[in-house]
Structure 1
Amino acid sequence: MINFITEIFSYSFMQHALLGCLLASVGCGIIGTYVVVKRIGFMAGGIAHSVLAGMGIAYFMGASPLAGAMISALISGVLIGWINLRWRQHEDILIAAFWSVGMAIGVIFISRTEGYNIDLMSYLFGNILLITTRDLYLMLILDSVILVLVLLFYRQFLATAFDEEFSRLRGINVEFYYILLLCMVALTVVLLIQVVGLILVLALLILPAASAAQFVSSIKRMMLLSAIFSVVITTTGLIISYEPDLPSGSTIIILAGVFYILSIITQGMIRKLRKN
């Protein structure tokens, strides 16, 4: 612990890692709340895993895997939203197919690329210690876009998340805001890839918000508490993984799972105390 604190002031990569935790937690807290409330975790998973197609193509072409991930994530968000709106009764099958095909395309392009690139492995499994200044600027931009959209369309997102039929009666374009929300999920996926990697991104998107939902019912409070939980989980996971040289992404997700279980237990104890 002491070595960790000392090295924060000594090495820029440690400072980048901590800033990455903070920036990722903003998007995670806001969008994770919508994902939990709207119960679109499966669709978020479809977006997250289909991103591998864009990363694989970008890697094959010698471009930035993160740029490929962003393009692929946005396309996936629009297509998955459109599929869900048109064929709602078959959404699980269609999204599973989209999920699998996206990953398969990514694997094919990666396999056709000569050599081994450790940077790609960091995108797949996460290594927050490899975050660069350029990555931090990108994360800041993505956070800013998410915050601006939520501030502009908060009421529309809120109405759409809870009651689509009532929203339509009020003249809200539910389809537009639904697809826009999925595009914001896509941007958050790109944010979190830097922290825990593509494979584990869904857990970090959902678990802090699900933990926050145990204690608050207000959407605004849930967003704030989820963001705070995300900061605690990511920074603590980074600290725990640093000294024994454990995979940071996996450590963060295990901690998020423990955090969620503890939140359920704590809420159960609070309810029992109130009854007594």
Structure 2
Amino acid sequence: MSPVLDKLGNYLNYPFVRYALAAGTLIALCSSLLGVTLVLKRFSFIGSGLSNVAFFAMSLSTVLSLAFKLPVVLVVTVLCAVFLLQRKEGRQISPDSVIAMVSVGSLAFGYLAMNLFAPSSNLAGDVCSTLFGSTSILTLTLSDVWLCILLSAAVLTVFLLFYHKLFSITFDEEFARATGTRVSSYKLIIAVITAVIIVLSMNLVGSLLISALIIFPALSAMCVCQSFRGVTICSAIFSVCCAVSGILLSILLGTPVGSTIVAIDLLGFACFYLAGCLKGVFHR
């Protein structure tokens, strides 16, 4: 065990490893907090839809050789998030169908744009890096980390300030509206936060695996906790532990960072699900 610890200690001396751990921890924390609200409101699939929109925006930015890709991707994803989350039930096309169409369409047009107007000869590498994260999390610069810190701090601040309002519209939107809560405004906040987290997560796990950061921590926490606060805290701890473990394990084994984190998330969910089943048995 000592050689492994020594190896980890040596890797931690490199700035890029510390940058990856800092960014990964913040992204995992923010996505887990938002994930509880999205899962309870049955918006789990929106993470996948918006991640494909982000892939489409990133593809266009790459094709157009834009110097500042992140602002473009963020704006496009925010606008799409607002459109999807502000839609109301009872329309001719159901919200889940719209999310599915946007998801598939964005993925298709993004890849088509990269294929037709590829700015480099390494098309497969560029697409794979965007979709699955590849090693992009290990190539972060200090400015990237500071941007991640600022955006994550903004997300956490908004979540803490409007915790009770988010709680009310998560469980009973009609009651919240009856008590004077501006539901549409808070849904707009959720949409913006979702888009920010999606864009941040692209460097960590890639656009295809972002939903795992949102869904698995929340579902795992729900297996063992009953209250909204308990689920939120447990989800945050679970997500951060899985992200840190995944990054360190991927460095030691040389595996893709995003896939390793998601694999650990899945194993963690299996353990929590089993614990929830045993807890249910013991409570009988």
Q: Please, what TM-score do these two structures have when normalized by structure 2?
A: 0.89
What amino acid sits opposite 1:141 in the alignment? L
Query: Equivalent residue for 1:138?
Result: 147
1:124 counterpart = 2:131? yes
Question: What is the rounded CA distance, in whole Å, between the counterparts of 2:73 and 2:226 in structure 1?
Answer: 33
Secondary structure (helix, strand or coil) at the match of 2:94 reads helix
Query: Equivalent residue for 2:100?
Result: 96
Query: Equivalent residue for 1:231?
Result: 240
Query: Equivalent residue for 2:13?
Result: 10
CA deviation after TM superposition for structure 1 residue 84, in Å: 4.1
CA deviation after TM superposition for structure 1 residue 191, in Å: 2.0
CA deviation after TM superposition for structure 1 residue 104, in Å: 2.3
Query: Equivalent residue for 2:64?
Result: 61
Assess, with a 3 A threshold, how the Cα gap between structure 1 residues 89 and 231 changes in structure 2: closer, same or farther. Answer: same
Secondary structure (helix, strand or coil) at the match of 2:207 reads coil
CA deviation after TM superposition for structure 1 residue 25, in Å: 2.0
CA deviation after TM superposition for structure 1 residue 221, in Å: 2.7
Question: What is the rounded CA distance, in whole Å, between the counterparts of 2:266 and 2:59 in structure 1?
Answer: 29
CA deviation after TM superposition for structure 1 residue 83, in Å: 3.1
Out of 114, 118, 135, the position equivalent to 2:119 is 114
1:72 counterpart = 2:73? no
CA deviation after TM superposition for structure 1 residue 87, in Å: 2.4
CA deviation after TM superposition for structure 1 residue 220, in Å: 2.6
Question: What is the rounded CA distance, in whole Å, between the counterparts of 2:7 and 2:36 in structure 1?
Answer: 31
Question: What is the rounded CA distance, in whole Å, between the counterparts of 1:31 and 1:94 in structure 2?
Answer: 21
Matches within 5 A, 1:147-158: 147-158=156-167
Contact 2:24 2:204 in 1 (8 A): yes
What amino acid sits opposite 1:144 in the alignment? A
Question: What is the rounded CA distance, in whole Å, between the counterparts of 1:228 and 1:8 in structure 2?
Answer: 24
* CA offset digits 1:72-101 (Å, max 9, x no partner): 210110111233457286112222111122
Contact 2:55 2:107 in 1 (8 A): yes
CA deviation after TM superposition for structure 1 residue 68, in Å: 3.1
Query: Equivalent residue for 1:245?
Result: 254
Out of 49, 52, 58, the position equivalent to 2:52 is 49
* CA offset digits 1:199-248 (Å, max 9, x no partner): 10001111011111112233233222211111111111122222231111
Secondary structure (helix, strand or coil) at the match of 2:57 reads helix
Structure 2 unaligned regions, length at least 5: none
Query: Equivalent residue for 1:191?
Result: 200
Question: What is the rounded CA distance, in whole Å, between the counterparts of 1:105 and 1:68 in structure 2?
Answer: 17
1:24 counterpart = 2:57? no
Question: What is the rounded CA distance, in whole Å, between the counterparts of 1:177 and 1:131 in structure 2?
Answer: 32
What amino acid sits opposite 1:77 in the alignment? A
Indicate the percent of aligned positions where both proteins have the same amino acid: 26
Q: Provide the aligned length of Structure 1 versus Structure 2.
A: 275
Query: Equivalent residue for 2:215?
Result: 206
1:82 counterpart = 2:86? yes
RMSD: 2.0
1:174 counterpart = 2:183? yes
CA deviation after TM superposition for structure 1 residue 2, in Å: 2.4
Query: Equivalent residue for 1:164?
Result: 173
Structure 1 unaligned regions, length at least 5: none
Question: What is the rounded CA distance, in whole Å, between the counterparts of 1:3 and 1:73 in structure 2?
Answer: 42
